[in-house]
Structure 1
Amino acid sequence: MRGYGIILLDADQTLFDFHLAERGAFLSTMGWLGLPGEELLPRYIEINEGLWRALERGEITQEALKIERFRLLFAELGVAHDPAACSRVYLDALGEGCYLLPGAQALCEALAAAERRLYIATNGIGAVQRRRLARSAICTYIDDIFISEELGSYKPEPDYFDRLFARLGDPDRGRAILLGDSIASDMRGGRAAGVATCWLNPAGLPCPEPSLCDYEIRALEGFLPIALGQADG
């Protein structure tokens, strides 16, 4: 088989439009609390992204992150809402947001038709990711989903990939490629794990660490020839 037989796909901002789902879930949750969601969204995103970076560095657990982002936001606002209760409402709403990015369904369909094995590899929250995948149009093309929360390790840690490949029966990693939008978790993790890497960079940003990326694409349709061995790195 030419190209790569094992396709590892990041979820958020690779297959799914997380920003759209996040916005909808946050506005719904803030509406439930009687708070101005549109006004607070930029600060929430800033807090949340900082905590996810801390998670990737091993500085916070995912369970703590779910609540801490709301605790910090409420502390800044000086309001006494329960961050744990807010987190539950937010995650329930987030799981409803199964919006695919342009080209995601066509890519998965074409890869599956070419007899590639498709796996989602994500640091996202387990209940949310499984719910979104089950409700999405790509569900039937995905062979399995590997969620850091369930594996007990997070991208970019080598242990995450060791556990993932152990679940697959320890196939040749030279047959695998990881597609993702994050240099810090996807590209760095894939490189350390010994798999090929493809950076999804729709904004055309300068690559901060080119040595981590075997391939770079602007749109999902550009990944198909790479996966099928019809493109050069």
Structure 2
Amino acid sequence: MQRLALFDLDNTLIDRDAAFLAWLDEFVADHGLDGAARAWLVRADGRTAGPMDGFFRLARREFGLAPSAEELWGRFRRRMPELAHCRPEDLAALGDLRAAGWRTAIVTNGMTDNQRGKIHRTGLAPLVDAWCISDEVGIRKPDPAIFRLAAQRCATTLDRGGWTIGDSGAHDIAGGRGAGLGTVWIRRGRTWPDDQPAPDHEADTVAEAVAILLGRSPR
């Protein structure tokens, strides 16, 4: 197995849920919404798969918001990178991988401006060799082609395998397995479903996942 690690971004390298809730508190205050509206928006976010334009169309219609859905979505994409953070331990772990001779990339579904903003503002950009953003490359996880493209951007191929690390069973684990990669699932307090093929490893954080890849006990 070659030293190649492909990382998911949202809720793996960054805490997307925390950033979303911080944005949501601002959004509710800016538009004069109440606690019931906030709860509705949390549920709507949980049901949203893929781009967030549908979320903002629903929110605009539900609460009679004046700005267009496209304008609301654009504001969201500009603000979220400013609210995103990485754990210092996870950033250090990425540095450990690079120091050990690993090639690393970020493979993420999402809009180019939003995801690029997160990668640069959180300090991830200098710690990885490449990234693939679905909106930019026209391929979404779990399609194995996006993992193959990430490997190419790291100046290698998946012929000798590698690893994918992420929080989504459907996108990261199933997608990585389909691309012939070893898999590390970021649990985030969850239990892997019994009716699904299990990942090769489970971890609570990126730092713990990196420790597994480097063959040592988690820090």
**Residue of structure 1 in register with 2:32 after alignment:** 34
* One of 100, 104, 111 as aligned partner of 2:97: 111
**Residue of structure 1 in register with 2:208 after alignment:** 222
Q: TM-score, normalised by structure 2?
A: 0.86
The unaligned stretches of length 5 or more in structure 2 are none
Secondary structure of 1:203's match?
Answer: coil
TM-superposition CA deviations, 1:140-190 (whole Å, max 9, x none): 211111111111011012232343344445524434100001101100100
**Residue of structure 2 in register with 1:203 after alignment:** 189
Relative distance call for 1:224 and 1:165 in structure 2 (3 A) is closer
Q: Does the 8 A contact of 2:184 with 2:200 survive in 1?
A: yes
TM-superposition CA deviations, 1:92-142 (whole Å, max 9, x none): 111212311463112112111112111011112211111121122333211
RMSD between aligned alpha carbons?
A: 2.4
Q: TM-score, normalised by structure 1?
A: 0.82
AA in 1 matched with 2:48: L
**Residue of structure 2 in register with 1:20 after alignment:** 18
Structure 1 CA distance for aligned equivalents of residues 195 and 152 of structure 2 = 28
Answering whether residue 91 of structure 2 is matched by residue 91 of structure 1, we say: no
Answering whether residue 63 of structure 2 is matched by residue 77 of structure 1, we say: yes
Structure 2 CA distance for aligned equivalents of residues 96 and 227 of structure 1 = 30
Structure 1 CA distance for aligned equivalents of residues 209 and 47 of structure 2 = 29
* One of 51, 54, 61 as aligned partner of 2:48: 51
Aligned identity (percent) is 26
Q: Does the 8 A contact of 1:29 with 1:89 survive in 2?
A: no
Structure 2 CA distance for aligned equivalents of residues 9 and 198 of structure 1 = 10
The unaligned stretches of length 5 or more in structure 1 are 56-61
1:171-210 mapped onto 2 (5 Å cutoff): 171-210=157-196
Relative distance call for 1:200 and 1:173 in structure 2 (3 A) is farther
